[in-house]
A and B are shown apart, each in its own frame.
Chain A
Amino acid sequence: MAKREEFDVCVIGTGAGGGVMIQELTAAGFRVVALQRGPYLKPADFDDDELRTIIRDQVFSADQVETYRYDENSPTETGRFNYMANCVGGTMTHWAAWSWRFRPDDFRVLSAEGPVAGASLADWPISYEEMEPFYERAEWDFGVSGDAAANPFGAPRKKAYPNPPHPPRRASELLAKGMRKLGHHPFPTPLAINSRPYAGRPECAYGGACLGYGCPIHAKATTLSVCIPKALATGKLDLRPNAMAREVTLGRDGRARSVRYLDDAGTEHEVFARHVVVAGNAVGTPHLLLMSTSGSFPRGLANSSGLVGRNLTLHHIAAVGFTADGPTRSYAGAHSHVACDDFHPSDARRGFIRGGVIAESNSAVNQPLSFGLVSFLGYPAKRGWGAELKQYLRGFPRAVALAAVLEDLPMESNRIDLDVYVKDRYGLPAPRITHRQHPNDFAMNRWYTRQMMDIADAAGAQEKWDAVFYSLPEERSAMKGFMHFHGTCRMGDDPSKSVVDRWCRSHDVKNLWVVDGSVFPTAGGYNPTLTILANAYRVADHFVREAKRQNV
């Protein structure tokens, strides 16, 4: 019998966390096997077909299924609530590329705010200062464009962005003018999209279909376009697409021993590795760990704390749309060209703590179906049909939209677990999302909506509309899902209060690592991807250093 092949590291998931780990570990000479649910798509597979990509969702996640319930006493509904992409490159493949650094206080929310009733606030075990060099590394590897000097409220930094900002479109000029009129400080949204040829990838063509789409020319930086090619070139990567991990097995020595996965035909395979990195997103990661039960871990692998899947955060969004008096070109360009971050510092006098960032967000006004179906849902017309609908459609060339990405407070009862009644196409239990909002979220959303309605007016809005998230009955206002998921495998120093340590290594299983948004103790009021990338560089740096000393 042939000797069993054993890799140095098995990485599950190739998105922001897994992709960087793969890049860094193969560069350091480790032999890595990477498992990814879904296909290995190429630029030629991507276009701006809105019906196929967005409305029918046939490109990225055709088979995904989850269930959602408001709380333990509510019925579940079956659907798709987590907008992840199941393909090599993970959800980054269709991201909007907003690339923020968290602010220093985002890493110590419990210390900064004190305990809050109903919320499970926590400090991160790491500081902004520890993250700073790795933020810089991520910005330079992924070619972030921006103008750091234009944002007086950004986190302190040592180095400028590697690329200049993108040119504005008319909509972003109007917004910047409106923001300035109100005394705010608009600046170009930092984007991991090439504003000039960079790192072997071309500059953006400004085709207008960005968030939710794959980039047909790889001007958008993703782990698919940045990390995977580098890793493959080392000859050290065994990339296995169409591989759905179903169990991490435990050896007699208490260490992770192998990963069992199902291929597209449902056939099971097993791969052995000395280390296992789980990077399946904050839904997929706890889903896998909870399915990996054993005598030592009857409640799921690495779950002695009982916290695997708990403290789920997923941001909440406030959104405003309006029409201007002339063409705005919202259908051309990147997803967002202008932002303002004047409101981020926590201020209890506003009636809530924490905050978020406001930015132009064209996804509901850039393409005809999103405008006709989605943006309309917030439009205050009397009727969604007839002359009123047609009149609304004619406003498309003059449309502008902006959104606030807002920090939700963690609650232990918000969680991912396994739905024993609903199975996915592999016959595995579907992930079940239990999620409701903390009262702080409603107050914050209402306040930010007001700021954005004021910006719309200052920008010359003819007609404007908002999402009225906050005015619905509480149970109807709960976010059932989103693109940003975090918190379900918290990192921390205390093994009874966290799942992984400061190096994102399981407290329970010493060769098991979690490197994705799951480890975020709190959500931050920014899109999470740059922080997931930076954290992965930090963990990889530690891993490589310790491995050389034979410490891992």
Chain B
Amino acid sequence: MSESISRRELFVQGAFYGGSLWAFVNLPRPRAARAAEQSAERLVFDEAQWKTVEAVTARIIPTDHEPGAVEANCVNFIDKTLAHEDAALKPFYLAGLAGLDAVARKRFEKPFVELKPAQQDEVLAALESGNADGWPIPQIPSAQFFEAMRAHTVIGFLADPKYGGNRGYAGWKVMGYPGGGHHLGGYSPGQLLGTEKIETAWGEEV
């Protein structure tokens, strides 16, 4: 599957350097991009689009015994990044969302938000495979749009809460990340070894 090959190819260099080789690194971004304030105000999506994106994020990082993308407010992160740093992606995104609903209607005769979770997974898997029956935009590969939503959801779940997602540190709690080490004042030799606890950014110990 070509999608998975390209993912793994990125890992070769990314594994050494960190994240900067992923899909949108070459986006033209405003030089003085400003971080999104945490805010429930919709800046890019209308109400229906907001609900659709939220439903997609819920399938990408589902809620189980712990919070998922919905509780972390990933849709808010995506709305804010499309308003600011990733504004160049906005037309692509809005067209893609219309495409998502077109595929959902073709397959199940309902918009995406009204489908059952298993049906939603089917639609997303079709987009990811690049063979989504009813995908109306030949200029935008559906797999590329899916990957944009997937990556944005992961970022919204795991980026610093100041960017509008990761609400209440939900993502970091699931992951077991205590917060930025510089902000926590660094670590002692005992903490490096795991023999001493670390106090997290939200005041618990791990």
Contact = CB atoms under 8 A, between A and B. Distances in A.
Interface of A: 47-52, 54-58, 62-63, 78-80, 83, 167-170, 173, 204-209, 211-212, 216, 316-317, 319, 321, 326-329, 331-333, 361, 363-364, 367-375, 377-378, 384-387, 389-390, 393-394, 396-397, 401, 403, 467-469, 472, 476-477, 479-483
Given A168-B192, A170-B193, A331-B177, A51 B12 contact: no
Given A329-B193, A468-B8, A367 B18 contact: yes
Interface in B61-104: 61-62, 64, 68, 85
A56 B183 CA distance: 20
Interface stretch (B45-53, B105-113, B168-176): B168-176
A394 B180 contact: no
A206 B186 contact: yes
For the complex of A and B, the 7 pairs showing the least CB-CB separation, nearest first, are A205-B186, A207-B181, A319-B15, A377-B11, A208-B181, A374-B14, A397-B176
A321 to B, nearest CB: 7
A427 to B, nearest CB: 16
26 contacts: A49-B160, A50-B19, A62-B31, A79-B26, A167-B189, A167-B192, A205-B181, A205-B186, A209-B180, A211-B16, A216-B182, A317-B12, A328-B194, A363-B18, A364-B15, A368-B171, A372-B155, A374-B19, A384-B150, A386-B60, A389-B61, A390-B64, A472-B5, A476-B5, A481-B13, A482-B13
A332 B171 CA distance: 18
B7 interface: yes
B192 A377 contact: no
A63 B15 CA distance: 23
A487 B12 CA distance: 22
A207 B19 CA distance: 18
Nearest to A468: B8
Given A169-B192, A208-B187, A390-B68, A369 B20 contact: no
Contacts of A63: 31
Contact of B33 (A56, A319, A328): A56
Given A374-B22, A377-B14, A390-B64, A396 B159 contact: no
B21 interface: yes
Interface in B10-47: 10-22, 25-26, 29, 31, 33, 35
Given A368-B177, A468-B8, A58 B151 contact: no
A167 to B, nearest CB: 4
A413 B157 CA distance: 44
Contacts of B10: 374, 377
A370 B175 CA distance: 13
A294 to B, nearest CB: 34
A370 B19 contact: yes
Contacts of B180: 47-50, 207-209
Contacts of A78: 26
Contacts of B59: 385-386
A349 B17 CA distance: 31
B15 A387 contact: no
B121 interface: yes
Given A329-B193, A368-B158, A397-B176, A363 B13 contact: no
A378 B14 CA distance: 10
Contacts of A326: 194
A363 B33 contact: no
A51 B155 contact: yes
A467 B193 contact: no
B115 interface: no
Given A206-B192, A327-B194, A364 B14 contact: yes
B205 interface: no
A371 B184 CA distance: 20
A387 B62 contact: yes
Q: Which of A364, A372, A394 has the most B CB atoms < 10 Å from its CB?
A: A372
Contacts of B187: 205-208, 329, 332-333
A479 B11 CA distance: 11
Contacts of A378: 8, 11, 15
B140 interface: no
A65 to B, nearest CB: 8
B15 A472 contact: no
A79 B11 CA distance: 17
